[in-house]
Amino acid sequence: MPTDTILIVDDEESIRKSLKDILGDEGYEVVTAASGREALDVLAEAQPLLALLDIAMPEMDGIETLRRFKEARPEMQVIMITGHGTIDTAVQTTKMGGYDFIQKPLSLERVILSVKNGLEECRLRQENETLRKSIERRYAIIGESAAIRALKQQISLAGPTNGWVLIHGESGSGKELVARAIHKASKRAAGPFVEVNCAAIPQELIESELFGHEKGSFTGATSMKRGKFELADRGTIFLDEIADMSLATQAKVLRVLEGQEFQRVGGTKTLKTDVRVIAASNKDLAGEIRKGSFREDLFYRLNVIPLDVPSLRERKDDIPVLVRYFLQEFAADYGQRPKTIDAAALDLFIRYPWNGNVRELRNFIERIMIMVPGPVITAAEVPQPVNRPPAGRQSGEGRPSTGSPSRVPRGPGLR
């Protein structure tokens, strides 16, 4: 594990030497500078995680040096030290991004504790940033085909608005990725993104999941529970596979969407919620309306901005990019060197229909990463069924779209 580097900036040589000796004994790598200008030069070369910075220095004082530090390395922690500090100075440096403020004569115990805490906070920030980037990569929409470029353009237009979105696409095509991308591009990006898989929740529990319940409202309700609409307040709620919701639940969801208010199961208090709604389905909702299994008025309420997610068969140009992306992803997950794939093997991937779309491709790449020991994936090592793509028309072509509202038939009792 690399040693953490600390920069000490003070015009008094005795203080620089004393702090360097103490922190060196604690196991840190220490570099020093006698002025603010010298510190800026050292900063670029040493890349310290933390600095101890004196305020009272000639030419460039600690306040100006702190400002320059934060411009160059905003993530670095800076502990201010001074012999004549005031509360106003401490407040000023804190507002400028200073981590701590220590007065001379220095208490070495206080210095060591502040340094340890500052480095720990720095590490936590780095871990959070790494986690954030990892999440962003996992939910990135990968591809540069014409279909994906058009979809990304639609997301960039829909994202900043508050318009409700209805996403259609086959299972595994990436509807959740589109929903997350819209949320990230919205003014609600700092708020929660709450996903509800309507197909995975038993119908007798879905109202409790959506709206919450009060203690004792039904058998097993041993405590109050907040529902997804409440948890998504000031953010986005994603209702995935909404066509699998019962008509009774659809009616209650419609009332929430119309008034942005609801009651918990077993409750009498009306609660307000401020949510943006994104819904998705792999079914032809116009057909579901004709069958009487989906409410026409709910369709119109949701279908403000309709988006279609292309199947992988409609974006074959993206398959080589996706294959290499997943090879890199799983190599990182498993701590392996990334595998490469030869042209003949890649051709098999391109010819295969991928009825399970990107999800099927991703799972297949994970299987190969585990089962193929060599660094290069050849056509002979590609397992079934990809090594024997079916001939003839590929299943799943000509999938229905959300359709425009004008094509949805009006049935009795539908508004």
Distance between CA atoms of 239 and 229, rounded to whole angstroms? Answer: 10
Q: What are phi and psi of 76, to 5 degrees?
A: -75, 140
Provide mean pLDDT across the span 300-318.
Answer: 96
Tell which wins on pLDDT, 1 or 126: 126
Provide mean pLDDT across the span 109-122.
Answer: 94
pLDDT, one tens digit per residue, over 137-192 is 778 999 999 999 999 999 999 999 999 999 999 999 999 999 999 999 999 999 99
* Contact between 194 and 273 (Cβ < 8 Å): no
End-to-end CA separation in angstroms for the chain: 66
Distance between CA atoms of 70 and 92, rounded to whole angstroms? Answer: 14
Q: Which residue has the tokens 């003070």?
A: 10
Report the interhelical angle of 203-211 vs 247-259 (nearest 10°): 10
Supply the DSSP string of 186-206, one letter for each residue.
Answer: STTTTS-EEEEETTTS-HHHH
* Contact between 222 and 215 (Cβ < 8 Å): yes
Q: What angle (nearest 5°) sits at the alpha carbon of residue 314, between those of residues 310 and 320?
A: 105
Distances (CA, A) of 159 to 177, 189, 306, 401: 13, 10, 13, 21
pLDDT, one tens digit per residue, over 261-288 is 999 999 999 999 999 999 999 999 999 9
